[in-house]
Structure 1
Amino acid sequence: MKKKITIIGSGFSALAASCYLAQSGHDVTVFEKNDSIGGRARQLKSDGFTFDMGPSWYWMPDVFDRFFADFGKKTTDYYELVKLSPAYRVYYGVDDFIAIADNLPEIEATFEKIEKGSGKILHDFMMEAQSNYNIAIKDLVYRPGVSPLELVTVETAKKVGQFFSNISKDIRKKFKNEQLIQILEFPVLFLGAKPSDTPSFYSFMNYADFGLGTWHPKTGMFDVVRAMENLARELGVKFQVKASIEKIIVENKKAKAVVVNGKRIDSDIVLSGADYHHTETLLDLEHRAYSEKYWESRVFAPSSLLFYVGFDKKVENISHHALFFDVDFQQHAKDIYDEPRWPKEPLFYANFPSLTDKSAAPEGMESGFFLVPLAPGITDTEALREEYFDKIITRFETLTQQSVRDNIIFKRSFCKNDFVTEYNSYKGNAYGMANKLFQTAFLRPKLKSKKVENLFFTGQLTVPGPGVPPALISGKLVSVLINKQS
């Protein structure tokens, strides 16, 4: 039966859900509080420079392919992909970096040069990681997190031990070189938790990295947002921006309407792709499924300090993606998860899209994106932002052996306070709820409200978890639940 469906927010999960629900014949309208769609994946254009404001890594291309294939489409119908070579660099000191190739044999050779015997060990590790990927991404993550039995399969039974060990321990049993260990621990940071708190089974992220490679949509990640919006519109989805949801109206324990900019909009189904905690605050207290105590007890992925920077010259000695691990990896992790505070010596990430996409900066110039992971809920001031920009740009100049500070002609920052203001993000987290063992699958907040009929959720605080590919999957999962009810 055709339903009138209201979707709150326009991030990847909401866009995905809108497409599936419209395909099923429903009347779907997406309401976005900001002035452009995309949620955290918005685009910033200024002074001739273009920046992806949020996600910048295109991993797991098969998940994107599977999404568009569900509509009889291909990614190439909407955007072009470039495989990055090298995928990224990891900097450890002056003239000391490791370049990760765009194929596994070369990566194995790189490991072998650094630690004798590690090439073969990496090969075997990756075979196991690929097996985990096939089980997880092709099967488990497409289950809605309703029952613990979803995790019980013939394949997972063979790997049960991997759910009770952790990535860090497993990697350190196999490799001794600290630089190689950090490279292998890095991908699980996308899941929002320390490697020592992430189950070994999540080594499938290493296959996503080394096995499938790192890609870049030709003119940035916003290409994907634009593609999904275009597909949604082709399917009949309607969009309203600058449309702030002020309340979800519940009558007889059923979601009946939302209040948008002071106006009541009746609906058969309300689906929120906005922050889960924030969405529940739009309900009267008795209709909320999770208490403040519950949210306080959860482990959240980091917040981030971001800088969007335009340079009036080309930047040298750098790759499209670059990780700066020249300081204590473990200490920074403690400063995020164990004793939340601004890290004394932060690791950071830099991304130079104009190396791949010439339209991202004026001719002869460069666009750069810098990110420092931070504890959620941390104090955020302009003075601290500037202090940390000075820290990372000084190290960037030293490690890449060039002067760039005086060539900055555009700079904008984005941090915890902005995540709260722009995205209603709980504690200003950037990636959602961490995928720890006891926050996985059926142990995450539910796609369907436990207290209010016709109220559903999607996105990185519910299943499957953080990241762009999981967001696409989350949109599909919730649409299946809604269609079953309809």
Structure 2
Amino acid sequence: MKKVAIIGSGFSSLAASCYLAKYGYDVTIYEKNKTIGGRARQYIKDGFTFDIGPTWYWMPDVFERFFSDFNKHPKDYYQLEKLNPAYSVYFGKNDFITIEDTLDKICIAFEKEEPGSSKKLKKFIQQAEDNYNIAIKDLVYNPGVSPLELVNLQTAKKLNQFFGTIKKDVRKAFNNKRLVQILEFPVLFLGAKPSDTPSFYSFMNYADFGLGTFHPKGGMYQVILALEKLAKELGVTIKTENPIQKIFVDNGKANTIITNSSKIINCDIVLSGADYHHTETLLEESYRQYSEAYWTKKTFAPSSLLFYVGFNKKLKNVNHHTLFFDVDFDTHAEAIYDNPKWPEKPLFYASFPSITDNSTAPNDKEAGIFLIPLAPGLEDTEALRSSYFDKIINRFEALTSQSVKEDILFKESFCVNDFISEYNSYKGNAYGMANTLLQTAFLRPKLKSKKVNNLYFTGQLTVPGPGVPPSLISGKLAAELINKHHSL
């Protein structure tokens, strides 16, 4: 039985481990931290439970497809609830638009903002659904080996959508600035500005308005625990507190890895779900595929400043997911992508899982997660974190017409330095490499090393790209590629 050593235990690593174990490999996961989950770990304090990383459950069909590959279903492992409302977006004091759980309801909200917009919205979402059916049900399940993967009858008809942009499409159809911002918001999950994201990626709008937003009871970490349970049922071994220090290559093959305890582990195949750039630094320079110059030139998805806050009361005028777009979107985007710096007036997002799920906070209390998108690689100090918390909490109080500062029991923060120290993340990015036109599919870093015969990669820096559903798919693609080249 061939031994596979997997580095990291995030979504992509856990998914890959399940497929490889199913194929008959002897699989062991090595995780540097005390708990599994990678960027999707959990923080628990004083009866409050927070997802450290992802908080949005979109594209439920991808999760269903994953579990069905093992004759399972998500409900075998966790309880899923569709959120209504899905989220709300603040534009000013007591001025917000609520996005509900069906397209018909969303059309009513759009019509109130811009008469005649619902007809245009239905047409836009219909095209987005077409793109979703091509992309998520087909294209993203290709391993990014060849440009020919993108060529079929369906994509040939949509060629122009690879060269147009989301920003142009949305603004051509809609005049109302608020509606434009709501329609441009989903592509931020892909890690790039709407002006740099190909039109084809409108499938994210279908994921949003067509399929809706869900919540696993107990939080997104329940999905990690589900993957762990499935992996262990399939025979996978998971070892935490085992950071990998070195990958040794002999005769073009990675045959040995060394952990922090200097323990030498022999293996037949190495798969890394850790940061791609970091993984290559574990190799001798001659075995690295991509130079520092290569990584420097790439467009990375943002980092984030996150706060996990325990409130001593229930909050008003907010939903489970609440976006604060009361400042200029383009100015903040410029501070992330064009002229990297701390934004003067940041947009921010807040999640209050305890509104939906009473298991995430004690009775009559609220769990709050606040997120500010930032350029990766910025200076990160406690003073900066503190000043930005004050900025957003003051705005939060004003916009939602409530006082909350005196009701904060505790707050913890997570930012660039933590993404680097906890996940070896390149420049402290939070979401991997952005999905721009020149960083799509076969143009992304490869799943299989070009220089080391049995070294593979999975996760947000390779195909298909950023996000939880793409990470599950990435794990499947990497496992299939391994099995293709090293089948038992």
Pairing 1:164-203 to 2, within 5 Å after superposition: 164-203=163-202
Q: Give the whole-Å Cα distance in 1 for the aligned partners of 2:365 and 2:196.
A: 41
Pairing 1:53-452 to 2, within 5 Å after superposition: 53-261=52-260, 262-452=262-452
Q: What secondary structure does 1:5 align onto?
A: strand
Q: Give the whole-Å Cα distance in 1 for the aligned partners of 2:229 and 2:414.
A: 28
Give the aligned residue type for 1:54: G
Q: Give the whole-Å Cα distance in 1 for the aligned partners of 2:482 and 2:359.
A: 41
Give the aligned residue type for 1:97: F
C-alpha RMSD of matched pairs (Å): 0.4
CA offset at residue 170 of structure 1?
0.5
Give the aligned residue type for 1:251: D
Q: What secondary structure does 1:397 align onto?
A: helix
Q: Deviations over 1:53-108 (max 9, x none)?
A: 00000000000000000000000100010100000000000110000010001101
Q: Which stretches in structure 2 are left out of the alignment for 5+ residues?
A: none
Q: Give the whole-Å Cα distance in 1 for the aligned partners of 2:306 and 2:2.
A: 40
Give the aligned residue type for 1:287: Y
Question: Runs of 4 or more off by more than 4 Å in structure 1?
Answer: none
Q: Give the whole-Å Cα distance in 2 for the aligned partners of 1:125 and 1:363.
A: 42
CA offset at residue 47 of structure 1?
1.2
The answer as to whether partners of 1:47 and 1:410 remain within 8 angstroms in 2 is no
Q: Give the whole-Å Cα distance in 2 for the aligned partners of 1:13 and 1:275.
A: 11
CA offset at residue 316 of structure 1?
0.8
1:38 aligns with 2:37: yes
Q: Give the whole-Å Cα distance in 1 for the aligned partners of 2:480 and 2:65.
A: 16
Q: What secondary structure does 2:90 align onto?
A: strand
Q: Give the whole-Å Cα distance in 2 for the aligned partners of 1:5 and 1:198.
A: 36
Q: Give the whole-Å Cα distance in 1 for the aligned partners of 2:133 and 2:140.
A: 10
Q: Give the whole-Å Cα distance in 2 for the aligned partners of 1:103 and 1:356.
A: 18
The answer as to whether partners of 1:219 and 1:357 remain within 8 angstroms in 2 is yes
CA offset at residue 425 of structure 1?
0.1
Give the aligned residue type for 2:84: S
CA offset at residue 116 of structure 1?
1.0
The answer as to whether partners of 1:129 and 1:207 remain within 8 angstroms in 2 is yes
| Equivalenced residues, count | 485
Q: What secondary structure does 1:44 align onto?
A: strand
Q: Give the whole-Å Cα distance in 2 for the aligned partners of 1:278 and 1:28.
A: 22
Q: What secondary structure does 2:477 align onto?
A: helix
Give the aligned residue type for 2:165: N
Q: What secondary structure does 2:322 align onto?
A: strand
CA offset at residue 451 of structure 1?
0.3
Give the aligned residue type for 2:472: L
The answer as to whether partners of 1:31 and 1:240 remain within 8 angstroms in 2 is yes
Q: TM-score, normalised by structure 2?
A: 0.99
CA offset at residue 109 of structure 1?
1.3
Q: Percent identity?
A: 69
Q: Give the whole-Å Cα distance in 2 for the aligned partners of 1:210 and 1:357.
A: 22
CA offset at residue 254 of structure 1?
0.6
Q: Give the whole-Å Cα distance in 2 for the aligned partners of 1:95 and 1:412.
A: 28
Pairing 1:11-22 to 2, within 5 Å after superposition: 11-22=10-21
CA offset at residue 112 of structure 1?
1.0
